[in-house]
Amino acid sequence: MTSATPPTLDFATSAINQALSAEQKTGLFTLMVRIRRFEQAALKYYNAGKMGGFLHLYIGQEAVAVGTISLAGPDDHFITAYRDHGHALAVGMGMNECMAEMFGKQTGCSKGKGGSMHFFAPDKNFWGGHGIVAGQTPLGLGLAYGLKYLGREGCCLCYLGDGAVNQGTFHESLNLSGLFEIPVVFVIENNGYSMGTSQERSSAYTGCLAQRAEAYGIAWDVINGADIFEVRAKTHIAMARARSQHKPTLLEIDTYRYYGHSVADANAKKYRTPEEIEHYKQNHDPITLLRRRLITEGVLTDATADAIHLAAAEEAAAAVKFADESPAPTVADIGTDVYWETDHATAASKIGRHFFND
Amino acid sequence: MSRIITYRAALREGLDEELARDPNVVLIGEEVAQYNGAYKVTEGLWKKWGSRRIFDTPISEAGFIGMGIGASMLGVRPVMELMFWSFHSVAFDQLVNNAACVRYMSGGLCHCPIVVRGPANGGTGVGATHSHIPEALFAAFPGLKVCAPATPADAKGLIKAAIRDNDPVYVMENTLLYGMSGEVPDPAAGDHLVPLGLAEVKRAGSDISLIAHGRSVIHCLAAAETLYAEHGIHCEVLDLRSIRPLDQDAILNTVRKTHRAVLVDESKPFGGVSAMVGMLIQEHAFDALDAPIQRVCSLDAPAIYSPHIEHEQLPSPRRIVAKVLAIT
């Protein structure tokens, strides 16, 4: 939000976006709307006491996950931090298992053992959902190293927030990625605030955060995250660089979250002005901007766009019903998914005591 | 057929055999490749296997251990060396939050077949920051496995079992054992594996049980010799080998046989491995005891540097003998 140069190019006309069919463009719009409606429903039921812990909403940032993940090939992989609902739906996870996870139910994607911050879908190349700031950055590096070691053509998109750029593990990961030529794309989703501390109060930098990549000899770019076409046009280049040259990239995608760091953020409306939030909603909302564009292009009409919203809201409501009616985990479930060997009752698991309950 | 080789060579042989067996096994760490290992455990392996299978990292423990965890989720089997286990503290988030918890938090969708290995001991004059003994610390996290071999044969057998295990296994070695020699089965006789979770009676006896792991086992064997020669006391020495999973049956069996136990543990007394073993004995074999359980641990302070006194802080045969004589 602080460093992007106002776009002077129309990224919708770049080749990667020109290649999109009307159906695919509608698909991008639909996915962004589904993420927003899903989270609006989650917020409603979080406030109603249906879930525990934290709820970090992605609302306002949808073009980042949808735009980047829309570029994925069959062996591209994804990992993110705790603000993970958008990425989860973008990789193709269903609203049901995601909502049920937040409700703490057995039918949740992690069987109710992870919660809002820990969604996983390895079958969709999505490796979480991680709660410790920047703790996922070496894992993303490792997934990309694994692809290279195993001779698979793909890359890992490793998302982090602007608060994560000041953690040591992130810098270690940048250095290792440059040193070992790892096909990873680090994506800083810069929403301007690390919890309640603005970028200006938390980071020493020149120009932008992504410029730190120069210290490690890594390519970098800054992207306006309100424009899904710009997100796609620039991320595409980084992913191609990773896949074909095994070279990392650091991207900074400027974006904004309308809600607090989490819903429990008591100061969400104190460290920034209502005018600032309203300004983004009015002028930079990625869903509004894409809707306007697609209507201008004749891909959508007001009626079809509204119908997409309605369908997404109904889908989210159905997911709430599914989650609410699903069974909770049992006491016996507490003791599974701890060790692979005991879960699979292997010979190794029969030797020695693994658990120390009464 | 056995040969006499060092603990260091036994570990190396185990690593070499697993590199040959499974193309997904890689060795990662500081100075493990071109330098041939800070303690020469990996000597010659880079020359034999090349930079794809074994490579040096910068001094970034959190970075390279996290990288190994991420790669393991995709099917690579990284074996990562901590030059000292004491350096765990800068990688703790990766070792615990990611390695121990990722399977659980994903509801079993991910798993993390990594090995982290290196020396974890005091007694080498390197001060408190390099002398931590964290077996009990990591064994306290469900999701992790921990072992601590005392002999060359067990070092080879356990490192191989650790690499084949599908959960994260932390192997705690000992710089003071690397040069120790002992019998190790000949590779021609077949795979030598020591399963995790299986203790071994290293010396049979009837009067008292000495229960230990790592280098403390060597001290127990020396103490047992003295106690027999000078006092006619027959000590049974049980080597735990694996901390988690833990061979509770072997612990209870020896206590039920001898009715007395001294637990020897290089950890500090508060919450060390011996604290857990003592709890299990009182819980399951209380009636078999003829005397209170005793412990010999490191003296309860950060590790002292002074070479004049450092050995006095650690368990020793002399301290074990004194403790045994107090309850027999």
Note whether residue B143 is domain-resident. Answer: yes
Final residue of a domain: which of B139, B155, B189?
B189
Write out chain A residues lying below 8 Å of B166, CB-based.
340-341, 344, 346
Q: Which residue has the tokens 């998302």?
A: A159
Inter-chain touch A338–B104, beta carbons under 8 Å? yes
Would you say residue B194 lies in a domain?
A: no
Tell me the chain A residues in contact with residue B241 when contact means C-beta distances shorter than 8 Å: none
State the pLDDT at residue A263.
87
A348 contacts B195? CB cut-off 8 A: yes
- Flag whether B8 is in a domain: yes
Cβ atoms B262, B208 nearer than 8 A: yes
Same domain, B183 and B227: no
Which residues numbered 318-337 in A keep a CB inside 8 Å of some CB on B? 336-337
Quick one: pLDDT at residue B310? 95
Cα B68 to Cα A230: distance, rounded to the nearest angstrom: 33
How many angstroms separate the CA of residue B227 from the nearest CA in chain A? 30
Q: What residues 125-184 of chain A have any CB closer than 8 A to a CB of chain B?
A: 127-132, 135, 137-147, 149-150, 168-169, 172-173, 175-176, 179-180
Helix (H, G, I), strand (E, B) or coil at A106: coil
What is the spatial distance between Cα B67 and Cα B44, in angstroms, rounded to a whole number? 24
In a domain, B195, yes or no: no
| Predicted local distance difference test score (pLDDT) of residue A6 | 58
Assign domain A11-327 to its CATH superfamily. Answer: Thiamin diphosphate (ThDP)-binding fold, Pyr/PP domains (3.40.50.970)
Does B205 share its domain with B286? yes
Higher pLDDT, A269 or B193: B193
SS3 A232: helix
Residues B2-16: pLDDT tens digits? 899 999 999 999 999
Cβ-nearest to B93 among A123, A132, A176:
A132
Q: What is the pLDDT along chain A (358 residues), one digit of tens a residue?
A: 455 555 568 999 999 999 999 999 999 999 999 999 999 999 999 999 999 999 999 999 999 999 999 999 999 999 999 999 999 999 999 999 999 999 999 999 999 999 999 999 999 999 999 999 999 999 999 999 999 999 999 999 999 999 999 999 999 999 999 999 999 999 999 999 999 999 999 999 989 999 999 999 999 999 999 999 999 999 999 999 999 999 999 999 999 999 888 888 888 778 888 899 999 999 999 999 999 999 999 999 999 999 999 999 999 999 999 999 999 999 999 999 999 999 999 999 999 999 999 8
Q: What are phi and psi of B311, to 5 degrees?
A: -65, -25
**Residue A346: partners with Cβ closer than 8 Å, 6 or more residues away:** B166
Whether residues B161 and B13 share a domain: the answer is: yes
| pLDDT range class, residue B180, cuts 50, 70, 90 | very high
| Tokens coding B225 | 């010799």
Give the pLDDT confidence score for residue A15 in this predicted structure.
96
Residue A81's nearest CA partner among A195, A160, A168, A196 is: A160
| Domain identity same for B35 and B160 | yes
DSSP state of B97: I
Which amino acid does the sequence have at A119? F
Q: Is residue B295 part of a domain?
A: yes
List active site positions of B.
61, 130
Judge: A110–B106 Cβ closer than 8 Å, yes or no: yes
Question: Which of B51, B109, B166 best tests the A interface by mutation, with the highest count of A CBs <10 A?
Answer: B109
Interface contact A339, partner B, CB < 8 A? yes
Spatial contact of A251 and A210, defined as CB atoms under 8 Å apart: yes
Do B73 and A138 make contact, defined as CB atoms within 8 angstroms?
no
Same domain, B140 and B262: no
At B290, which CATH number? 3.40.50.920
Domain boundary residue among B135, B163, B189? B189
Of A141, A150, A352, the CB nearest to B196: A352
**Partners of residue B74 in chain A, C-beta under 8 Å:** 77, 142-143, 146-147, 150
Contacts of A179 in chain B (CB under 8 A): 58
Average pLDDT, chain B: 97
Number of domains making up chain B: 2
Q: How far is B143 from chain A (nearest CA, A)?
A: 5
Q: What share of chain B is helix, strand, coil (3-state, %, to 5)?
A: 40, 20, 40
Radius of gyration of chain B (CA): 19
User: How sure is the predictor about B141, in pLDDT bands with cuts at 50, 70 and 90?
Assistant: very high
- Taking CB atoms and an 8 Å limit, are B71 and A143 in contact across chains? yes
**What residues have CB less than 8 Å from B138, skipping those under 6 apart?**
B88, B95, B96, B144, B146, B170
Q: What CATH number is associated with residue B133?
A: 3.40.50.970
Q: By residue range, what is the domain housing residue B67?
A: 2-189
Which among A8, A6, A18 is positioned nearest to A297, based on CA atoms?
A18
Interface touch A172/B97, C-beta < 8 Å: no
The residue among B167, B189, B211 that closes a domain is B189
Are residues B98 and B236 both part of a single domain?
Answer: no
Bridging pattern class, strands B235-239 and B261-264:
unpaired
Q: Is B202 helix (H, G, I), strand (E, B) or coil?
A: strand
> Cβ contacts (< 8 Å) between B110 and chain A: which residues?
120, 122, 127-128
Using CB atoms, pick whichever of B26, B62, B102 lies closest to residue A138.
Answer: B62
The answer to whether residue B246 is domain-embedded is yes
Assess whether B64 and B144 both reside in one domain. Answer: yes
B57: chain A residues, CB-CB within 8 Å: 176
Chain B interface disruption, residue of A78, A98, A326, A353, most B CBs within 10 A: A353
Scanning every residue of chain A, which has its alpha carbon at the shortest distance from the alpha carbon of B54? A149
Shortest Cα distance, chain B CAs vs residue A9, angstroms: 37
Instruction: Quote the pTM value.
Output: 0.96
Q: How far apart are alpha carbons B70 and B168 in whole angstroms?
A: 12
* Residues B180 and B56 reside in one and the same domain: yes
The tokens for B216 are 């403390």
- On whether both B102 and B35 belong to a single domain, the answer is yes
Q: How far is CA B296 from CA B124, B266, B314, in A?
A: 19, 8, 9
Cβ(A34)–Cβ(A11) under 8 Å? no
Per-residue pLDDT of B247-300, as tens digits, reads 999 999 999 999 999 999 999 999 999 999 999 999 999 999 999 999 999 999
Q: Which residues of B226-245 are buried (b: 16+ CB within 10 A; e: fewer)?
A: bbeeeeebebbbbbbbbbbb
Q: Which residue of B has its CA nearest to A169?
A: B63
Strands, E assignment, chain A: 77-79, 156-161, 184-190, 193-194, 197-198, 219-224, 249-254
> Beta strand pairing status for B169-173 and B261-264?
unpaired
pLDDT of residue B232: 98
Q: Which residues sit opposite A250 in a β-bridge?
A: A186, A220
Residue A200 buriedness (CB in 10 A; 0-12 / 13-18 / 19+): exposed
Q: Which of B320, B328, B258 is nearest to B295 (CA)?
A: B320
